[in-house]
Structure 1
C-alpha cells in the first residue's frame, strides 16, 4: 500500500518514523514551506521535512493546497491512502483523492475536544484521562468516522508538554495499527455520536493565557500547567510580563488579596489565589531568559 504522509511538527515525526519502520511505502511527505526564523531570519525547515530529507523521502511543500501543480503532483503519486498528523485543514480535492481515503490522528478521545488545542484544554479543564483517535476525514473538522482510539491517564503533575510527548508515542503506535487494519480491511468505522455533550478545544490566544488569580487553587494550577511550555501562562510582576512554566500548590489559606505575591527574596515566590497559593518554580521575566525561581530572585529585588 502506497502512502502520502502529511504533517509538520515533532508530534508528526513520531508517526512518520513508525510507519517507515513498519515497512510501509511512503510515496511522499507533504509539509509546511520553509519559513524565516530567529534573529538572522534564516529559512527554517519543519521537523517533518528534516526527517524526510534525512531518510531520502520525497518532500512536497505547497504554499496553497489547492494549487493545480500540487494537485497534479499528488495525483501522479497514485497513493492508496493519505495519513495526516498535525497538519493544515485539507480541501476536499486533496482528502478525497486516494481510493482508501485520508485518515487523521487527533490528540483527544473524539468526539471530545475537537479543535486546534486538545492537549492544552484537557489539562486546563482538569481531565484525568485523554487519548488519541484515528478517523477518516470528512467535511466538518474532526467529525469523521472513528477507526481506533487509545487512552492514557493525565496525572496532576502533567503539563501540556509532558502529555504531548505521551500522546505523540501512543499516537504513532495507533497510526501503525490503523494503517495495518486499513491495508488488511480489518477495521470498522464508527460514526461519532451526534448527541454527546461536547467539550471544545479551540485555538488559544494570548488573552486566554493571562492568569486569573481570583479563581481557586486547582483551577489556576490546571490553567498554568495546561499552557506549559507553550503558549505559556503569564501574569504581571511590578509592571512587567512574567511567564510561568512550572509551579506547585501551597494549601496555606491566604491572608491577602488574590493576585498578591509573597517572597523571601531568596528561595520562594508565591501568588495568592482565593483559597491557596501558587508557588512559582520556573519562570521568565520580560526581557530575560527562562530560569528557576532561586536564580531569578538573585537578580531581581522584590523585598526591601
Structure 2
C-alpha cells in the first residue's frame, strides 16, 4: 500500500524505519516545522525529519494542517492509508483522506492511558503491564475504534527509557501487522471497551516532577523511574539554608520504621546517598545537581567537603 507517515520524536522515527523495510511504500512524511533550540537557537529538526531527509523521502512540514495548499498536496499523493505516531491532533480534513483510513499507534493498552505521556504514567502508577494499540483516528483524542493490541510487561527495574525502547520495538511490528490487515481486509475495527475507571496520561510539566517525600517510599521510587531519563524527577538538597535543585534518575529503597523521628535527613555513608523517610531509606544512585553533569552517588559524595546537616525538601 501507499503510505503517508506522520510523527515527530525518536519513537516515531523507529516506526517509520520499520515501514521503510516492509513491502509498503512511504510516499510522504509529515512532521513539525524545524524549531530554534539550545543556547545558540539553531534550527533543530525532529527525529522523523532527519530520517526522511536521510532516506530522500518527500517531506512536508506544515505550520497549519488545514492549509489549503498542504491539503491539496496531501490529496495528490493518492495514498491508501495514513500512519500516525506521536504527532498532533489531526483535523477531519486530513484523517478522512485515505481510502483505508488513518490509524495511530498509541503506547498503551487503550482505553487506558489516553494522552501525551502514557509511558511515564504507567510506571509512575506502578503498573506491571502496558502495551501498544493501533486505532482509527476520529474527532476525539485516542478514542477511535481499535485495530490491534500487543501487551508488554513492565519489569521492576524498567524506567521510562527502557520501557520506551520495548514499546517502540513492539509498536513498529504492530504497525506492519495493521497495514497488512488493512490491505487484505482481515481486521475488524472494534469500539474501545469501557473498563470503568480510566487512568489518564496527561502531558507532564516541571511541577509534576517534584518529588513529594511524604508519599509512601514505593510510590516515590515509581515516580523517579517513571520520569527517568526524561523529564526527570527533582527535589531540593538543603544545607545551611542553601537550597539546590537536584534531578534524581535512579535509586532503590528498603523499608524500615527506624527513621520515623528524623524523616527528610540526608546521610552520606560509604559513598552512598541515603534519604531517611518515615517508612524506610531511599538510596540515590544517579543524580544531576543544578548546573552540573549527571553523576553517580559515589562521585557526588566524593565531591563534598562538608557532609553534615543535609536535608531534602
TM-score range, shorter chain: over 0.9
Partner of 1:296: 300
Partner of 2:111: 111
Q: When the two structures are aligned, how many residues end up with a matched partner? A: 303
- Give the unaligned 5+ runs of structure 2: 309-313
Partner of 1:221: 221
Partner of 2:279: 275
Partner of 1:245: 249
| Offset of residue 32 of structure 1 | 1.1
Secondary structure of the 2:40 match is coil
Partner of 1:102: 102
Is the 8 Å Cα contact of residues 215 and 274 (structure 1) preserved in structure 2?
no
Partner of 2:50: 50
RMSD: 1.3
| d(CA) in 2 for partners of 1:224, 1:114 | 21
Partner of 1:285: 289
- Over 6 Å off, 4+ runs: none
| Offset of residue 228 of structure 1 | 0.6
| d(CA) in 2 for partners of 1:130, 1:89 | 23
| d(CA) in 2 for partners of 1:147, 1:301 | 59
| Offset of residue 254 of structure 1 | 4.0
Secondary structure of the 2:4 match is strand
Partner of 2:19: 19
Secondary structure of the 2:267 match is strand
Q: Would the alpha carbon gap of residues 52 and 111 (structure 1) be closer, same or farther in structure 2, given more than 3 Å must change?
A: same
Matched, 1:188 2:188: yes
Secondary structure of the 1:278 match is strand
Deviations 1:177-218 (A, max 9, x none): 000100111111110024632111111111111101111111
Q: Which segment is superposed worse, 51-60 or 292-301?
A: 292-301
Q: Which segment is superposed worse, 253-262 or 275-284?
A: 253-262
Match of 1:260 among 260, 265, 270: 265
| d(CA) in 1 for partners of 2:213, 2:296 | 21
Q: Which structure 2 residues correspond to residues 150-169 of structure 1 after superposition, within 5 A?
A: 150-169=150-169
Partner of 1:201: 201
Q: Would the alpha carbon gap of residues 254 and 232 (structure 1) be closer, same or farther in structure 2, given more than 3 Å must change?
A: farther
- Give the unaligned 5+ runs of structure 1: none
| d(CA) in 2 for partners of 1:66, 1:257 | 59
Secondary structure of the 1:29 match is strand
| Offset of residue 78 of structure 1 | 1.6
Partner of 1:62: 62
| d(CA) in 2 for partners of 1:245, 1:55 | 35
Partner of 2:39: 39
Secondary structure of the 1:11 match is helix
| d(CA) in 2 for partners of 1:234, 1:302 | 22
| d(CA) in 1 for partners of 2:278, 2:19 | 49
TM-score, normalized by length of structure 2? 0.94
| d(CA) in 2 for partners of 1:45, 1:83 | 20
